[in-house]
Amino acid sequence: MIPNPLALIAEITHRCPLHCVYCSNPLELAAVASELSTNDWLNVFQQAAKLGMLHAHFTGGEPLARPDLTELIAGARTAGLYTNLITSGIGLAEPRLQALVAAGLDHIQLSFQDSQEHAANWIAGARAHAHKIELSQIIRRHKIAFTVNLVVHRQNLDHLQEMIAFIEQLNPDRMEIAHTQYYGWALKNRAALLPTREQLEKAVEIVDAAQNRLAGRIRIDSVVPDYYARYPKACMGGWGKQLLLINPAGKVLPCHAAEVIPGLEFENVRDHTLEWIWRESSSFRRFRGEEWMPEPCRSCDRRAEDFGGCRCQALLLTGDATATDPACSLAPAHHLVEAALLEANSNSNVPQPNVSQPTPASSFVQLQQKTAELWSYRTNPE
């Protein structure tokens, strides 16, 4: 039996004022002209709630780039969904936040790039840090749950302790410390982002200590980097098992990166019902269950726990979406991950920033040029 999906990830636009080097959006972003209309989305939320879904996670790009966001939040909430806004905060001042809360927004997750202003703006490719701090104070005046998200990587892990102390001052209910996952722009920039083993081990200790210290006050959720794990992550809780994602153009995907997999056709909410796509479409059936699994997954005791890992990562690293996720230590292609780790842990091979310190730049173009040898900033859709 196919279980009902639990949560909808609504990627309502790929437009974004930030250019984060670790962005997991696809390299090929959905064009503005292709975006679903307000009514298309409202219809989707009704269908999602009827399918038994509980949560709608609004993400992007930057969801605030959609002028109809308040209407979309109201529509999802009216349909019966819990509404979560995942945002950089750029474009959000108090009146709009107030409108969103009145529309039924339950939770806001604000991303930070660093605790230090220069470093944060350097990663984001935009001057955003000061505004985020101001916004945090405004958010706390409203009765919604507040999570601060921090993506960590080679360039910022060395001052994790300081970053946690910084977030603590913002007084959120939750902090999410997420190691970069290597898809989209982050994979392109992997050499500059993959931490050393030493950095990682220190980070684990720091997070553990903070969890104990802040227990009952701020909950810390931490996403560990799968490259250093023994077994792969249970990507999306299994393909077509718990979650579905709708991209700005209305394509329904089993996960953020699924479009990289060749040969799969993704259906559009403009053409089919969500229920049919979830239950019947070939893309959702392709890796559902265990039929597709190769060895060593097929006979592995952990197959019901991690489902063979991530299909997109398998494709991106091995060229074969049906391979065991190379992050798994038992995978035939694990040497690919080991090679990346070897490179990350031997100083000579890692590209060094040609700007020794993150420096402010007067324009994005200037920043792009200064860091050209280190990484590529995420661009924007047409």
Partner 1 sequence: MPPPEDSSQPRLAAGCRWGAENKTGAEQERVILFPEGAIRLQGTGRQILERCDGQRTFAQIIEELQAQFTVADPAKIRADISQFLEQLRHKRIVDY
**Cα first-last separation, the chain:** 41
Q: Strand, helix or coil at 245?
A: strand
Bond prior to 61 in cis (omega within 30° of 0): yes
Closest separation in Å from C-beta 76 to partner 1: 12
Token representation of residue 87: 């945002």
**Backbone φ and ψ of 243, nearest 5°:** -130, 150
Please, which residue, 84 or 199, has the CB nearer to partner 1?
A: 84
Please, which residue, 5 or 308, has the CB nearer to partner 1?
A: 5
Q: How far is it, in rounded angstroms, from Cα 134 to Cα 146?
A: 14
Query: What does the DSSP 8-state code read for residue 232?
Result: -
Q: How far is it, in rounded angstroms, from Cα 101 to Cα 78?
A: 13
Instruction: For residue 263, count other CB atoms closer than 10 A to its CB.
Output: 8
Give the binding site for partner 1 (CB under 8 A). 6, 54-55, 80, 82, 84, 106-107, 109, 143-147, 173-174, 215-219, 221
Token representation of residue 300: 């592995």
One-letter amino acid identity for 105?
Answer: L
Closest separation in Å from C-beta 104 to partner 1: 10
Closest separation in Å from C-beta 196 to partner 1: 29
Closest separation in Å from C-beta 173 to partner 1: 5
Query: What does the DSSP 8-state code read for residue 255?
Result: S
Please, which residue, 197 or 213, has the CB nearer to partner 1?
A: 213
Closest separation in Å from C-beta 97 to partner 1: 14
Please, which residue, 82 or 292, has the CB nearer to partner 1?
A: 82
Name the H helices within the chain.
Answer: 38-50, 69-79, 94-103, 117-124, 129-139, 160-170, 184-188, 190-193, 197-214, 274-280, 282-286, 303-306, 311-318, 334-345, 364-370
Query: What does the DSSP 8-state code read for residue 268?
Result: B
Token representation of residue 200: 């990682």
Q: Strand, helix or coil at 340?
A: helix
Q: Can you give the length of the chain in residues?
A: 382
Closest separation in Å from C-beta 168 to partner 1: 14
Bond prior to 238 in cis (omega within 30° of 0): no
Please, which residue, 175 or 317, has the CB nearer to partner 1?
A: 175
Bridge partners, 112 (sequence order):
150
Closest separation in Å from C-beta 360 to partner 1: 33
Token representation of residue 256: 């953020």
Token representation of residue 116: 């230090």
Please, which residue, 54 or 340, has the CB nearer to partner 1?
A: 54
Please, which residue, 255 or 374, has the CB nearer to partner 1?
A: 255
**Backbone φ and ψ of 9, nearest 5°:** -100, 110
Please, which residue, 142 or 288, has the CB nearer to partner 1?
A: 142
Please, which residue, 174 or 302, has the CB nearer to partner 1?
A: 174
CA 230 from centroid of its chain's CA atoms: 22
Closest separation in Å from C-beta 55 to partner 1: 7
Closest separation in Å from C-beta 219 to partner 1: 4
Q: In the block, which residue shows the tokens 């950095």?
A: 199
